[in-house]
Amino acid sequence: MDTEAQQTERDRSSRPAPEAVEDRSRFALVARLADWLPGGWFTLTLFACLAFLLVLNTFVAQPFQIPSGSMEQGLRIGDRVLVNKLAYRFGAGPRRGDVVVFDGSGSFGDADYIKRVVGVGGDHVVCCDKKGRIEVNGRPVDETAFLYPGDTPSTVAFDVVVPGGRLFVLGDHRSDSSDSRDHLGSPGGGMVPVDKVIGRADWIILPYAHWTHLTRPAAYARVPGAGASHG
């Protein structure tokens, strides 16, 4: 009887695990699909890669081509930047100094735009102080690190408080940029809704000679929090 019991145990252990059977079934299904498609495995692999790129482009990162000179000299016409679409998906919002791509419908126009965030919700943004600098919450911002050479911070005077959930944005090439200053009298006051932001531009990826990581300028780190100066 012991021998029979041992044989029975061996029979049981020789049976494939349910997971292995399921894996083989899935592989057989994929193999049949590959046989059905023209081009077989090559076509199936191509479709899988395209699906992966579609998901990546929709939810993770998206290339964006610079259409104008409004962000020179850092971003030139024709440059391609990689937009991080996850940057603001988990509770974090745009910060002063970020370069963002946003949908301009309802604020700027029916197109996507790329600008630098100068003010976030609650910020008091003024141009200009006695030295010609933009002030945010009473603190002047030294923009020389990214402002287009020869440009002044603004030839248009403004004194605004950014509503909650909105952004005040400017191009780095101020004399060649249509930005929040040009829409001050429009509905929304030139402020971009945060929920219209597609993502943060983190890298210049093309042309290869311009490849670089886009970082937040240190000048904005010294700006006090919103509400510090509304006078």
Catalytic residues: 70, 115
Question: What gap in Å lies between CA 112 and CA 108, rounded to an integer?
Answer: 9
Question: What gap in Å lies between CA 56 and CA 50, rounded to an integer?
Answer: 10
Q: Is 123 helix (H, G, I), strand (E, B) or coil?
A: coil
Question: What gap in Å lies between CA 157 and CA 135, rounded to an integer?
Answer: 12
**DSSP string for 134-167:** -EETTEE---TTTSPTT--S-SS-EEEEPPTTEE
216: tokens are: 């937040």
Q: Is 32 helix (H, G, I), strand (E, B) or coil?
A: helix
Other residues' Cβ atoms within 10 Å of the Cβ of residue 53: 10
Question: What gap in Å lies between CA 181 and CA 160, rounded to an integer?
Answer: 10
